[in-house]
Amino acid sequence: MLATLACRHALSSSLVRSLKLTSTTPIHNIHYRGIVMASPVSPKYLLVLDFEATCGNGIQTPEIIEFPTLLYDFKEDKVNATFHAYVRPVENPRLTPFCTELTGIDQETVDAAATFPEVWERFQAFLMEHGVYENLDDYSFITCGNWDLKTMLPRQLEISESEHGLDASGRLIPPYNDWINLKAAFRKQLKLRHDRTMAGMLSTLKLKLEGRHHSGIDDCRNILRIIQELRERGYKPVKGVQ
């Protein structure tokens, strides 16, 4: 606990000040140690993220219940680390039957999980361990659509009153405010007219779904398979493709 509190303190004070982060500062324009990073930027590592949240009848305020992230070395085509945690919801602690059927997450699993603030601290420690905050330009989140980081994370941080992640106006700070939307990247790479869902992208690439759709960790792995196939076709990730 002392270690995680120390991580949170470091992130919310000296580290954030040293990077001069604001919600309106793109990652590739951050002033770090007196250097203005060039634009556009192709990250070396991708943080593949896919939240699952409470859903179903009566759920007015969705809460994150599964928090998975794969740290993928794009050049080496290798997953360097995995973060995966289930999260106990607070606003609506009982999962709806629809939510369990959709995600495969049962009540026993979330009842045994930590609440979001603790999981969020652990995620900060994960990012620090792998040097994300020291080399922001080398890393970018990638998600299947904009919902995870545009909508769900800001909402969850507000609900949880978390100390790190939002600025004074309630907007995300780096690295969370700069992500690649895989749907947009896929459409541009293959010169399609419209975005595809994850299932649609897999089908277009003639790849079969592996695992369970709407299991966060399985979705991350399937998103990664799409990225790997695009990589074979010459795709290079660029920050801010949304």
The count of other CB atoms within 10 Å of the CB of residue 99 is: 26
DSSP SS3 for 72 = strand
* Short-list 223, 129, 118, 137, CA closest to 175: 137
Rounded-to-integer distance, Cα 235 and Cα 186, Å: 9
Catalytically annotated residues: 52, 214
Is 230:185 a contact under the CB 8 Å cutoff? yes
DSSP, collapsed to helix, strand or coil, labels residue 107 as helix
Pairwise CA distance, residues 101 & 120, whole Å: 26
* Nearest Cα to Cα of residue 169 among 160, 186, 157: 157
